[in-house]
């Protein structure tokens, strides 16, 4: 169902790779809500994905940009403003990559050159993007910038590896740059901490399928899907959330506030229960 929440709004969407990605679903929902945008990704990601299909479906143009290059980002913002016919109202940063994860390096034995590359792509790129937007005064008043993150920024998920550090940095940048963007430009900046989602990037994490099932059983509302995340992002890009800024917003079915759920405990007890309970042992002793 569409509500015309973004009618007349213009934006930039980073990171739509294929139909499973949150950025892809968000682009589709923004289009349905009346917004228009340019799509961008690194040249290598554009070759790997199917973004041209999304561009055709949403009547959007694609501007290749390496988010670690200030020159590329400046070109992206200039072209976006030109193509869309005015300042930007919304930006989605949906970029994440860990070479250590791809190469199977555990957190305790990182290749630090890979660590730097992953941090540059996944986290510092958010600061660079906002720096270009800020210094070019390219965002409209009451515009909205959203970065996608994950709860491993606050809690330990061993196999999430150095991406946890990247997300922690990303969230800090959102708060720090969000202060200046709010004070000087009346622009809001937030991060959305999404449930584990079966995207191309997420599925690369070791043991992902098992964790997906675990999170679903732990969350009282179950895992949030990519499409549901897209719906949430639409509200953050709309005028209905004009005073929401500097927030890390959990969109995870309640997982982030859970200690344990009955479903998880039942599974644990089923798999770990002793052959006889303490009460049964006492009864046996009494009979003797």
**What is the secondary structure of 157-200 as a DSSP string?**
-GGGTTHHHHHHHHHHHHHHHHHHHHHHH--EEEEEEEPP---T
pLDDT tens for each residue of 118-144: 999 999 999 999 999 999 999 999 999
Contact 236, 244 (CB under 8 A): yes
pLDDT at 11: 98
Contact 191, 170 (CB under 8 A): yes
Residue 239 in tokens:
């005028």
pLDDT at 274: 66
pLDDT at 201: 64
pLDDT at 270: 85
> What stretches of the chain adopt beta strand conformation (E)?
10-14, 36-40, 61-62, 88-93, 139-149, 188-194, 248-251
pLDDT at 208: 80
Checking DSSP bridges between strand 10-14 and strand 139-149, what pairing results, if any?
unpaired
pLDDT at 285: 67
pLDDT at 176: 98
As a 3-state breakdown, the chain gives helix, strand, coil percent values, each rounded to 5, of: 55, 15, 35
Q: What pTM, to 2 d.p., does this model score? A: 0.92
Residues of the chain with pLDDT under 70: 200-206, 273-288
Identify the structural domains of the chain with CATH numbers, from first to last: 10-287 (3.40.50.720)
List, in sequence order, every residue forming a beta bridge with 163; answer none if it has no partner.
Answer: none
Nearest residue to 32 via CA among 190, 194, 233, 240: 233
pLDDT at 283: 65
């Amino acid at each position: 169902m569409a509500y015309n929440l973004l009618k007349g709004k213009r934006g930039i969407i980073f990171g739509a790779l294929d139909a499973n990605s949150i950025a892809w679903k968000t682009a589709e929902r923004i289009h349905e809500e009346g917004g228009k945008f340019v799509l961008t990704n690194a040249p290598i990601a554009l070759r790997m994905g199917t973004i041209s299909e999304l561009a055709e479906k949403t009547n959007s143009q694609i501007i290749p940009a390496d988010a670690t290059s200030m020159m590329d980002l400046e070109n992206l913002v200039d072209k976006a403003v030109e193509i869309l016919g005015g300042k930007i109202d919304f930006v989605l940063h949906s970029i994440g990559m860990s070479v250590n994860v791809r190469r199977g390096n555990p957190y305790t034995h990182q290749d630090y050159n890979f660590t730097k590359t992953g941090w540059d792509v996944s986290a510092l790129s958010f600061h660079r993007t906002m720096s270009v937007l800020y210094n070019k005064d390219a965002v409209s008043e009451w515009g909205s910038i959203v970065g996608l993150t994950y709860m491993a920024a606050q809690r330990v998920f061993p196999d999430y590896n150095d991406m946890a550090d990247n997300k922690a940095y990303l969230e800090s940048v959102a708060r720090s740059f969000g202060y200046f963007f709010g004070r000087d430009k009346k622009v809001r900046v937030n991060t959305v901490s999404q449930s584990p989602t079966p995207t191309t990037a997420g599925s690369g994490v070791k043991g992902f399928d098992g964790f997906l099932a675990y999170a679903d059983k732990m969350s009282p509302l179950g895992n949030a899907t990519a499409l549901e995340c897209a719906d949430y992002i639409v509200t953050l890009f709309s005028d209905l959330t004009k005073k929401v800024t500097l927030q890390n917003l959990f969109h995870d079915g309640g997982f982030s506030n859970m200690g344990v759920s009955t479903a998880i405990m039942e599974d644990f007890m089923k798999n770990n229960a002793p052959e006889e309970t303490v009460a049964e042992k006492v009864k046996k002793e009494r009979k003797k």
